[in-house]
């Protein structure tokens, strides 16, 4: 059966490099379906809003979008050596209610790009830490840290052009699909 992969971008910026990187995934395997899962409309997490009826409409739409996909790829920048606030907010909304959280046992991959030299290493570490707390199934071992991203894209066309980076991403996607199929079921 065709797998559907959700894409979450940790940047709200219109010309986000991370969004360009995420877009590249959609061109890499025609046997997969890709669906953007947007986080822009989510309110700031507030436990008071997290009501039994599923909470505010944007939260319901977002949680339902995660539930409908076989796995989620997060492509995110790093802000101040950490996870962007908008992404942390989105992950928190996918962490409740604890027993039926949208990201609970969901296969998740983490990738990041930066114009800087460290490839979002700190941000990815924090994203993984949060996903571990939620008990998502994060793809282990494999990492894609994209540094100097401005030199790897055609910003005018919004395309990732660097062949080496495309190969890394393609391999990551293959590992991720394999991960979805082989996650140990422990419950
Ligand atoms: C940054 N940026 C950045 N980059 C990095 O590699 N490590 C960091 O700690 C930070 N910190 C940081 C803080 C703030 C407030 C901003 C606005 C930016 C630079 C960041 O990588 C750059 O703006 C990217 O272009 C953001 O990703 P998108 O929006 O292009 O996907």
Which pLDDT value is given to residue 111?
Answer: 98
Q: From the CA of 77, how far away is ligand 1's center (Å)?
A: 6
User: Alpha carbon of 3 to those of 25, 35, 47, 128: distances in Å?
Assistant: 14, 11, 33, 23
On whether residue 187 sits in a domain, the answer given is no
* Ligand 1: residue whose CA is nearest its atom 20: 114
Cis peptide bond prior to 143, omega within 30° of 0: no
Over the range 89-124, which residues count as b (16 or more CB within 10 Å of their CB) and which as e? ebbbbbbbeeeebbbbebbbbbbbbbeeeebbebbb
> Using a 6 Å cutoff on CB, does residue 158 contact ligand 1?
no
Which pLDDT value is given to residue 187?
Answer: 58
Which pLDDT value is given to residue 185?
Answer: 73
Q: From the CA of 115, how far away is ligand 1's center (Å)?
A: 8
User: Alpha carbon of 146 to those of 47, 88, 126: distances in Å?
Assistant: 35, 20, 16
Q: Write down the ipTM of this complex.
A: 0.99
Closest by Cα among 123, 126, 129, 66 to 96:
66
On whether residue 65 sits in a domain, the answer given is yes
On whether residue 186 sits in a domain, the answer given is no
> Using a 6 Å cutoff on CB, does residue 126 contact ligand 1?
no
Which pLDDT value is given to residue 1?
Answer: 85
On whether residue 163 sits in a domain, the answer given is yes
On whether residue 107 sits in a domain, the answer given is yes
On whether residue 116 sits in a domain, the answer given is yes
Which pLDDT value is given to residue 186?
Answer: 64
> Using a 6 Å cutoff on CB, does residue 123 contact ligand 1?
no
**What span, in angstroms and rounded, lies between the C-alpha atoms of 149 and 154?**
10
- Supply the CATH number for residue 69's domain: 3.40.50.360
Which pLDDT value is given to residue 83?
Answer: 98
Q: From the CA of 50, how far away is ligand 1's center (Å)?
A: 30
Q: From the CA of 27, how far away is ligand 1's center (Å)?
A: 25
Q: How many folded domains does the chain comprise?
A: 1
Q: Which residues of the chain have pLDDT under 50?
A: none
Full residue range of the structural domain in which residue 135 is found: 3-181
Pairing mode of beta strands 153-154, 137-138: unpaired
CA-15 nearest atom, ligand 1 = 30
Which pLDDT value is given to residue 51?
Answer: 94
On whether residue 168 sits in a domain, the answer given is yes
């Amino acid at each position: 059966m065709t797998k559907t992969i959700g894409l979450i971008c940790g940047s709200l910026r219109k010309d986000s490099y991370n969004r360009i990187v995420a877009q590249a995934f959609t061109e890499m395997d025609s046997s997969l379906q890709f669906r953007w899962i947007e986080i822009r409309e989510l309110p700031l997490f507030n436990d008071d809003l997290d009501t039994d009826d599923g909470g505010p409409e944007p939260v319901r739409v977002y949680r339902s979008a995660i539930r409908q996909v076989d796995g989620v790829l997060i492509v995110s920048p790093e802000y101040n050596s950490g996870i962007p606030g908008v992404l942390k907010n989105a992950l928190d909304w996918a962490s409740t209610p604890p027993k039926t959280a949208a990201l609970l046992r969901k296969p998740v991959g983490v990738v990041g790009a930066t114009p800087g030299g460290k490839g979002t290493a700190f941000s990815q570490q924090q994203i993984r830490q949060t996903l571990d707390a939620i008990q998502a199934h994060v793809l282990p071992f494999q990492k894609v840290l994209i540094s100097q991203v401005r030199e790897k894209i055609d910003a005018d066309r919004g395309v990732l052009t660097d062949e080496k980076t495309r190969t890394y991403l393609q391999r990551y996607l293959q590992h991720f699909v394999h991960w979805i199929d082989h996650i140990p079921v422990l419950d």
